A and B are shown apart, each in its own frame.
Chain A
Amino acid sequence: MSTTTTESGTSFVPAAETLGAVLAPGARPPRPSALSASLTFGWRAMLKIKHVPEQLFDVTAFPIMMTLMFTYLFGGALAGSPTEYLQFLLPGIMVTSVVMITMYTGVEVNKDIEKGVFDRFRTLPIWRPSTMVGYLLGDALRYTMAATVILVVGLVLGFRPQGGVAGVLAAIALLVAFSFAFSWIWTMFGLLLRSEKSVMGTSMLVLFPLTFLSNVYVDPQTMPGWLQAFVGVNPISHLVSATRSLMAGSPDSGEIIWVLVCGAASIVVFGALTMRLYNRK
């Protein structure tokens, strides 16, 4: 392989005819639609997964570990048996794992922004947010994979959702949609912070309290009042309640609307901040 590199690197002589042929001004196609540009960037995200499949480790191994760990660690003490606890825990652990994975979005954006290719994207006459939407579309696929892995592990361990296939699918769809919306906070940090490490650090600082100070592991009734208040406003708690209700086959429309409104607000606020930073970078 290395000999080929040297050869094609040096023996090439630019020929006026062949180069001239590609330079002949053909008709320029009209600029792509916002959707088409976003999907193209989504395709780029897929290609990255294809070339660096190791990055799927965090959407497979990590969720399996979380599910096994908490089911057997708390199951006996909190609900009598791991299988019984799993009926309560699984939707929550799915939310925790997927929301945790969202932080890699910021790391990816931060890694890319240093590279020359970003300058090229920014000089293209396309819908400006499409670059970022592309990342998030790729990530939505990763979220779906992680959710599926957890569901399968759960089913193997004895999770039996009352909501059936429809309920579970709706729950996963809601979770992925919320995570897509929530991820705009990470594109913002990815553009704002100077290094990958600081993006990671900030993400942990936000995600740990959000996921643990929630109703994922235990019923908030046993918590002190001030903590109950936090858990009550924590969007992750609402997401967990909505997901649980869908999987249990008794959709709680109040919680679902709460989650959708919260997601929309996240896109409006952090999406706008992201694009402001992107345009100024």
Chain B
Amino acid sequence: MRDRTTDLAIETSGLVKIFGENRAVDGLDLTVPAGTVYGVLGPNGAGKTTAVKMLATLLRPDGGEARVFGHDVLREPDAVRTRVSLTGQYASVDEEMTGMENLVLLGRLLGHKKPAAKDRAMALLEAFGLTEAAGRQVKTYSGGMRRRLDIAASILNTPDLLFLDEPTTGLDPRSRNQVWDIVRIVVAHGTTVLLTTQYLDEADRLAGRIAVIDHGRVIAEGTPGELKSSVGSGSVHVRLRDAAQRPEAERVLARELNTQVHLEADPVALTTRVPGEDADAGAERASRALAALAAAGIVVDDFSLGQPSLDEVFLALTNRPATDQNAQEEAA
């Protein structure tokens, strides 16, 4: 068994990183128990990647403290490096080399002798469905294959802590599901995963606990259930057959759900948030609203109850949507 100096995989207090005028990470406090998936949720520019880079010893913090399995990232970087792996937002593999060469290179750098490195590379390519592509340059791989090779490279020496920085951004739904399956298997084998994401849905499916970060600081923390109930259970999207019935539908929904109804640019579409302490209560209210629409003789083509989006979480937590903030960050 691997020794665990502490039951905490990550512990940060008041972590700060400043780039010029921009306080990218501004007093970040995180406590990540070992053996779980911990989600870090936030919009672009919230400081997720910067925080991960400091924890992976790629960036030096400007203030505060960070420990990985009890090892200080500044004072004992090599002790941290032996226990973590990072799969960054952009594939951390060499595009000009083949999949096999990439894994053998890393195996050698991790101290395996050449035959052992080759065996290990072959087993990993097999397990990640890349055997056929083993001899091809990575630049010919699809996005999903690249991401899988990247994760394979990260578990070459099974790490105690794996950083996955937005692992599904830019992937098609199928590849995204593959990555989710892989993450579940990796965690089941005892590796702690720190997952950053922009999607509440993703954090909800994988993570045991989630920290929502904004402007480099944690603004909410808890289980996915706690987080969602603080936001409301989600929103209802309705599409009507006939645009002329929209004003009537708006009245019915407002009455049934007792909330403000938003009229979309599409003349047959309406959206509204569903109040409710949890998903079940929300679903019940939504189905009552659907029945009321039918009773009023309104023809509904599409009716869906979605999970609250990151935007909605942000709106509830900060009273300002995540997307607006993106625009601000870019302007700044």
Contacts and interface: CB of A to CB of B under 8 A. Distances in A.
Do these two chains interact?
Answer: yes
A254 interface: no
Contact of B88 (A16, A31, A119, A125): A119
B182 A10 contact: no
B56 A123 contact: yes
A40 B105 contact: yes
A9 B189 contact: no
A23 B95 CA distance: 25
A116 interface: yes
A19 B185 contact: yes
A225 B83 CA distance: 62
A25 B96 CA distance: 30
Interface string B124-154: 1011111011000100111111001000010
Contact of B112 (A1, A29, A51): A29
Contacts of B88: 116, 119-120
Contacts of B93: 116-117, 120
A122 B178 contact: no
A51 to B, nearest CB: 5
Contacts of A26: 158
A6 interface: yes
B123 interface: yes
B189 A14 contact: no
B141 A5 contact: yes
Pick the most buried of A11, A13, A16, A28: most chain B CB atoms within 10 A of its CB: A28
A47 B174 contact: no
Nearest to B96: A51
B126 A18 contact: yes
A1 B140 contact: yes
Interface in A12-44: 12-16, 18-26, 28-32, 36-37, 40-41, 43-44
Contacts of A36: 108
B123 to A, nearest CB: 5
Contact of B182 (A19, A30, A280): A19
Nearest to B113: A29
Interface residues on A, range: 35 or more
Contact of B158 (A1, A23, A47): A23
Nearest to B97: A47
Contact of B92 (A16, A25, A116): A116
Contacts, number: 152
B132 A4 contact: yes
Interface residues of B, number: 66
Given A28-B111, A116-B91, A123 B86 contact: yes
Contacts of A15: 127
A8 B97 contact: no
Contacts of A22: 120, 123-124, 127, 155
Contacts of A29: 110-113, 116
A123 B85 contact: yes
Interface in A65-89: none
Given A40-B109, A44-B105, A116-B91, A9 B127 contact: no
B58 A119 contact: yes
Nearest to A280: B60
A52 interface: yes
B78 interface: yes
A15 B188 CA distance: 13
B157 interface: yes
Contacts of A120: 86, 88, 92-93, 106, 153
A30 B113 CA distance: 10
B311 to A, nearest CB: 28
B39 to A, nearest CB: 20
B158 A14 contact: no
Given A48-B96, A125-B82, 18 more contacts: A5-B142, A11-B129, A21-B127, A22-B124, A22-B155, A25-B2, A26-B158, A29-B111, A31-B82, A32-B110, A32-B111, A40-B109, A44-B97, A116-B88, A119-B58, A119-B92, A121-B109, A123-B84
14 contacts: A9-B141, A9-B145, A11-B129, A12-B128, A15-B127, A19-B127, A20-B185, A21-B127, A25-B1, A116-B91, A117-B93, A121-B109, A123-B58, A123-B86
Interface of A: 1, 4-6, 8-16, 18-26, 28-32, 36-37, 40-41, 43-44, 47-48, 51-52, 115-117, 119-126, 280
